[in-house]
Amino acid sequence: MIKLNFDQGMILTFEFRKYDFDVKFRVYGRSIGEDDREDEIVFNSIYKTQYNHARIQEINYQLANKVYDFIADKLAEADTPPA
């Protein structure tokens, strides 16, 4: 049995401007050298009274997949023998 030791974090940032805003996302490892990923804009919009709920659910799905992909990459690294 392989024991995996890694931490994973997620940052969700809202950047508000006068007429619009961005939602940014970053998944990162807490080990040295793993926190250098750029924030990725996942949503940008002008201010509205209502938003498309299907689009918001799609964004949530994308964010969950990014976390899953990060974990899957860590598992793949654990299965790869050292060079």
Question: Does residue 58 form part of some domain?
Answer: yes
Average pLDDT over residues 40-49: 87
- Return d(Cα 19, Cα 3) in angstroms, integer: 49
**Average pLDDT in the chain:** 79
Point out which residues pair with 60 in neighbouring strands: none
Question: Does residue 40 form part of some domain?
Answer: yes
Question: Does residue 2 form part of some domain?
Answer: no
Domain ranges, residue 37: 8-79
pLDDT at 6: 65
pLDDT at 32: 46
Question: Does residue 45 form part of some domain?
Answer: yes
User: Sorting pLDDT into bands at 50, 70 and 90, what band is 34?
Assistant: low
Question: Does residue 3 form part of some domain?
Answer: no
Phi and psi at residue 25, to the nearest 5°: -140, 140
The 10s digit of each residue's pLDDT in 58-80 is 988 988 888 888 778 877 877 76
Q: CB–CB of 64/38 below 8 Å?
A: no
Question: Does residue 1 form part of some domain?
Answer: no
Number of domains in the chain: 1
Q: Which helix (H) or strand (E) holds 27?
A: strand 20-29
